[in-house]
Chain A
Amino acid sequence: MKRTSLLKRLFILGCGKGRHQLLRTSLFCIFLSLLAGAILLLLLGKNPLEAYTSILQGAGILPKSRYAGRKSQLTDFMSLLNYTTPMVFAALSVAVALKCGIFNICVSGIMVFSGFMATVLVGYSNLDPFLAKILVVLIGALSGALIGILIGYLKHRFNMNEVVVAIMLNYIISYVVSFFIQTRFIDPITRQSVAVGQNARLTLFDHPVGNLKMEIALVFPLALLAVFAIKFMLDRTRFGFELKAVGSNSKASKYAGIHVGKAVVFTMLISGSLAGLAGVSYYLGSNASIQPRVLPSLGFDAIAVALLGNTTPIGSFFASLLVMVFDCGTTYMSSRMQVLREIAALITSILLLFSAIGIFFRNLADRFEQEAEEV
Chain B
Amino acid sequence: MNTIIIEGLSFSLPLFIIAIGGIYSEGSGITNLALEGLLGFGAFFGGLSYAVLSRTFAGDPTVLIYASLGFAMIGGALLALLHALMCIKFKANQVISGVVINMLSVALTAFLANQINASFFGQPSNKFLLEVFPKATIPLLSNIPILGAVFTDFYTFELIIVAVALFMAYLLYKTPTGMHIRACGDNPHALAAAGGNVQKVRFWSVIASGALAGLGGMCFAYSISTTFSPNIYMGFGYLAIAAYIFGSWKIGPTFLACILFGFARSGGYVLVQKLKLPSSYGDLVLTLPYIVTLVLLLFFSSTNKPPRALGEVYDQAKR
A residues contacting B by CB (< 8 A) are: 44, 103, 105, 154, 158-161, 163-165, 167-172, 175-176, 178-179, 182-183, 292-293, 297, 300-301, 303-304, 307, 340, 342-343, 345-346, 348-350, 352-353, 356-357, 359-360, 363
Q: Is the CB of B95 within 8 A of A103?
A: yes
Minimum Cβ distance to chain B for residue A15 (Å): 13
Tell me which of A154, A159, A167, A303 contacts B302 (CB under 8 A): A159
B278 at the interface (CB under 8 A from A): yes
**Chain B residues near A300 (CB, 8 Å)?**
99, 102-103
Tell me which of B91, B114, B245, B301 contacts A159 (CB under 8 A): B301
Interface string of B59-78 (1 = CB under 8 A from A): 00000000000000000000
**Chain A residues near B194 (CB, 8 Å)?**
none
Residues of B contacting A: mostly: helix
**Chain B residues near A293 (CB, 8 Å)?**
283
Tell me which of A103, A183, A360 contacts B90 (CB under 8 A): A360
Size category of the binding interface on chain B: 35 or more
**Chain A residues near B99 (CB, 8 Å)?**
105, 300, 303-304
Bound-state CA distance A284–B59 (Å) is 55
**Chain A residues near B103 (CB, 8 Å)?**
297, 300-301, 304, 345, 348-349, 352
Tell me which of A105, A158, A343 contacts B298 (CB under 8 A): A158
Minimum Cβ distance to chain A for residue B13 (Å): 21
Bound-state CA distance A293–B235 (Å) is 11
For this complex, 27 residue pairs linking A to B, each with C-beta atoms less than 8 Å apart, are A103-B95, A164-B297, A169-B294, A170-B238, A171-B239, A172-B291, A176-B284, A176-B287, A178-B280, A182-B280, A293-B283, A300-B103, A301-B103, A304-B99, A342-B111, A345-B103, A349-B100, A349-B104, A349-B106, A352-B100, A353-B100, A353-B104, A356-B86, A357-B86, A357-B90, A357-B91, A359-B91
**Chain B residues near A357 (CB, 8 Å)?**
86, 90-92
B residues contacting A by CB (< 8 A) are: 33, 86, 89-93, 95-97, 99-104, 106-108, 110-111, 114-115, 118, 235, 238-239, 241-242, 245, 278, 280-281, 283-284, 286-287, 290-291, 293-294, 297-298, 301-302, 306
Most buried by B among A301, A342, A343: A342
Q: Is the CB of B241 within 8 A of A363?
A: no
Task: With A340-B115, A349-B103, A359-B91 as known contacts, state yes or no: A168 contacts B290, CB within 8 Å.
Answer: yes
Bound-state CA distance A340–B119 (Å) is 12
Q: Is the CB of A165 within 8 A of B278?
A: no
Q: Is the CB of B100 within 8 A of A179?
A: no
A-B interface, 7 closest residue pairs, ranked by CB to CB distance from nearest: A182-B280, A345-B107, A342-B111, A360-B90, A179-B283, A349-B104, A357-B90
Q: Is the CB of A164 within 8 A of B241?
A: yes
Minimum Cβ distance to chain B for residue A113 (Å): 13
**Chain B residues near A154 (CB, 8 Å)?**
298
Tell me which of B92, B104, B245, B290 contacts A350 (CB under 8 A): B104
Given A343-B111, A352-B100, A356-B93, 7 more A-B residue pairs with CB atoms under 8 Å apart are A158-B298, A164-B245, A170-B235, A172-B294, A175-B286, A179-B284, A345-B107
Tell me which of A169, A183, A352 contacts B278 (CB under 8 A): A183
Bound-state CA distance A52–B301 (Å) is 49
Q: Is the CB of A176 within 8 A of B283?
A: yes
Most buried by B among A159, A293, A350, A352: A352
Task: With A171-B238, A300-B103, A357-B86 as known contacts, state yes or no: A182 contacts B115, CB within 8 Å.
Answer: no
Closest Cβ neighbor of A44 among chain B residues: B115
Tell me which of A175, A340, A348 contacts B287 (CB under 8 A): A175
Closest Cβ neighbor of B284 among chain A residues: A179
